[in-house]
A = this chain, B = another copy of it.
C-alpha cells in the first residue's frame, strides 16, 4: 500500500484510465483508433510511410490498409518519395488538415480541462515534466540548434533564471560575458539542445575564441531532468563537436554556488586552472585537453 512499488502501481492505474479516456474521445470522430493514430502521426509531420509504421509499431499490411482507408475518406494523399520510388510519402489533403485540427482541438481541450480542474496547476505541470523526462530518458535527443532558435532561447532564459535564484547576489546577464551567438555557431562553435519529445530540457554551448581554445558555456539541465546523467551526455556531445572542429583545448568557468557542476568537471578529466577572464560571476576555472 505504502511502499514505493505500490505508489508506482497506483500511478499506473490512475494514468491508464486517464489515457483510456483520451483514446475513447478519439473514437468520437467515427473512425477506428488505428486510422486516427495514423492520421495524427502524419499531421504531426511524420510523412514517410515507414516512419509512421515504425512509430506506431504496425505491420506493413495493416499500415497499408489504414492508409487506403484514409485515402478513401479523402483525408490523405500518397505519392512516391522523390529519391526512392519504393518509399511512399503521405500528406494531408485540405479535408485531412481540417480533421487533424479537430483531433488537435480534442487533445488540447482535454489537457486544458485537466489543468482547469486543478488548483495547483504549476505543481502538477512540474510533476508531469519530471515524470515525462524520467520515462523518456532513453529517448532524449541531443540536437545541434542555432543559439537564437526558440529552443535555445528557452533554455537560456531558464538558465539565467536559475542562476538568479542560486547566486546570493542574483544574476544579471548584461554584467556577464554573454557569448555572441555567432561564436556558438559552426564553424566557430556549436550550441546543443537536449530535447525530450518536444520539450527542451538541457543545453550546452561551445564558444569559439581567437585565443587557441574554445569555451564551454551555458551548461544547463532542467530541474525535471536531473539525475539522468544528462549533464555528462551534453558535455560529451560538446567535446565531440569540438573535436570535429579541430579544437584541442577547452576551458570553462563556473561558480562554487553550483557544486554539482564542479563535481561533474572534476570527475570527467577537467583540471582546475587560475582565473583566465574578468567576468564577475565565476570563481572557479577549468581546462581540458582533448
Residues of A participating in the B interface, judged by any CB pair closer than 8 Å: 1-2, 4-19, 22, 107-108, 111-112, 114-115, 117-121, 123-132, 134-137, 150-151, 154, 196-200, 226-228
Q: A9-B107, A127-B127, A199-B6 are in contact. Are A120 and B227 (CB under 8 A)?
A: yes
Query: Chain copies in the assembly?
Result: 2
Q: How close is A88's CB to chain B, nearest CB, in angstroms?
A: 25
A14 and B117 in contact, given A9-B107, A19-B19, A125-B4 (Cβ under 8 angstroms): no
A106 to B9 alpha-carbon distance, docked (Å): 11
- By a CB distance below 8 angstroms, the chain B residues around A199 are 1-2, 6-7, 10
Select A227's contact among B114, B118, B128, beta carbons within 8 Å: B118
29 contacts between A and B (CB under 8 A): A1-B198, A1-B200, A2-B154, A2-B200, A4-B111, A5-B115, A6-B198, A6-B199, A9-B107, A10-B128, A10-B196, A10-B198, A11-B128, A11-B129, A12-B19, A12-B107, A13-B197, A14-B132, A14-B135, A14-B197, A18-B135, A118-B134, A119-B226, A119-B228, A120-B227, A123-B130, A124-B130, A127-B127, A128-B131
